[in-house]
Structure 1
Amino acid sequence: MSDHKHFTLYTNVEAANGWKVAIVLRELGLTYDSVYLDFTKHEHKSPEYLKLNPNGRIPALIDHENDDFVLWESDAILVYLVERYDTDHKLSAATDAERALQNQWLFFQASGQGPYFGQFFWFSFFHPEKIPSAVERYKKETERVLSVLDSVLSKKEWLVASKPTIADLSFVTWNNGAFATIVGHDAVVDKFPAVYKWHMALCSRPAVKSVTDLRTALQK
């Protein structure tokens, strides 16, 4: 049996965005090798990696069975994976209207959840000087994003198409980090119960759990 993998995923152990791609690859049963870039060594800014991703961020994905096609930006990768490999619509919307809604939520994740959660995390833990006004701003924006999700999820189980799709899965890895550190599980349960129920349902999926367990193991 060949050990050739369908994809190569350039990612990082700590960063959330690469892990969401790993989740969707696992969900779809697609094989891949992970290359974990070391941010402390600036491997994501190396000339070799910048040839793949001129933005110098993770993730980047190479599809070896599509002429070594390279794609970056995590939610763009999710769309590519389902459009090309999810022909049964296991994780994706089937109609034009549902696909538009799916993309709506992916844009909201990319423009809202990721940047605001990331800045809240940065100013809470890594910025060299404490700036209370920045922490407060991004705390409020993080809570606003959660409140938008909660308002929708209090009325339905999933974001699109009455089933879990890449729209839902795109939020998992940032939520994991935020709930464990900067927001707290108890606060989420109290303020955003629908979000918490939805998140835990996603985390119970075998593919999500296996990727989350791997991430935890690599972080030790």
Structure 2
Amino acid sequence: MSDKPQFTLYSTVVGPNGWKVAMVLAELGLTYETKYLDFSKREQKGPEFLKLNPNGRIPAIVDHGYNDFTLWESNAIIEYLVAKYDKSCKLYFPDFDNQQYVRQWLYFQASGQGPYYGQAVWFIKECGGEPKEVVERYQNETRRVIKVLESVLSKRDWLVGGKMSVADIAFLQWNTSADRIILGSDFIDNEAPHVRQWMNKMIAQPGIAAVMQERVKKLSG
């Protein structure tokens, strides 16, 4: 019997999207090996990776247990993992309605949180915080998204169905970017305390905690 992990995850050390896929894999107990692409060498635009993802972005996965099935786009990957492998519905739901609510939040994360937070990080880190009006726009959009989450989480513990699901996990890594880079941790602490509690509950989960520890290790190495 082969000891090879079932999945290969193509990611990068810095960006959040690969790490959120790793969190889902870890929480589901699925074995995987991460290949970290070096963006400074533009490995994500190299011919080998473009065969897997013509968009030249991370993450991408190869499912070696399913005919080397290959998929890219982080939330599409997450939907695939729970639909195919989460038979006990640890991070998903058996009923149609809650499945649609999960998709709703995954789409909001992909269209609302990721792009705005990502642009904020880019202009702050790569452009020295200039132009200021552009940075302010993306910081304000980051605040808006966090306030949307706070408005919901002030009334319930989790986004969907009364338990942690992939709808929640999808937001976590980008929210840590809001803490570290975009706004500072005071904003969530003071203006969105239920979001902070929600984040802390996820960070305490064993699989997520292990992935976050690995991220710190990689960043410091």
TM-score range, shorter chain: over 0.9
Matched residue, 1:127: 127
Matched residue, 2:18: 18
Q: TM-score, normalised by structure 1?
A: 0.98
Q: Aligned partners of 2:140 and 2:175: how far apart in 1? A: 15
Q: CA RMSD, aligned part only?
A: 1.1
Matched residue, 1:71: 71
For residues 6-45 of structure 1, the aligned pairs below 5 Å read 6-45=6-45
Deviation at 1:185, TM superposition (A): 1.7
Q: Aligned partners of 1:105 and 1:191: how far apart in 2? A: 21
Matched residue, 2:200: 200
Deviation at 1:128, TM superposition (A): 6.3
Whether the 8 Å CA contact 1:93–1:160 is kept in 2: the answer is: no
Q: Aligned partners of 1:168 and 1:129: how far apart in 2? A: 29
Deviation at 1:123, TM superposition (A): 1.2
Matched residue, 2:52: 52
Q: TM-score, normalised by structure 2?
A: 0.97
Q: Aligned partners of 1:185 and 1:204: how far apart in 2? A: 18
Letter of the aligned partner of 2:43 in structure 1? E
Q: Aligned partners of 1:85 and 1:102: how far apart in 2? A: 16
Deviation at 1:2, TM superposition (A): 3.1
Q: Structure 1: which 4+ aligned runs deviate by more than 4 Å?
A: none
Q: Secondary structure at the match of 1:67?
A: coil
Deviations 1:100-140 (A, max 9, x none): 10000000000011111111111112126720110110011
Whether the 8 Å CA contact 2:62–2:69 is kept in 1: the answer is: yes
Whether the 8 Å CA contact 2:129–2:135 is kept in 1: the answer is: no
Residue identity (%):
50
Q: How many residue pairs end up in the alignment?
A: 220
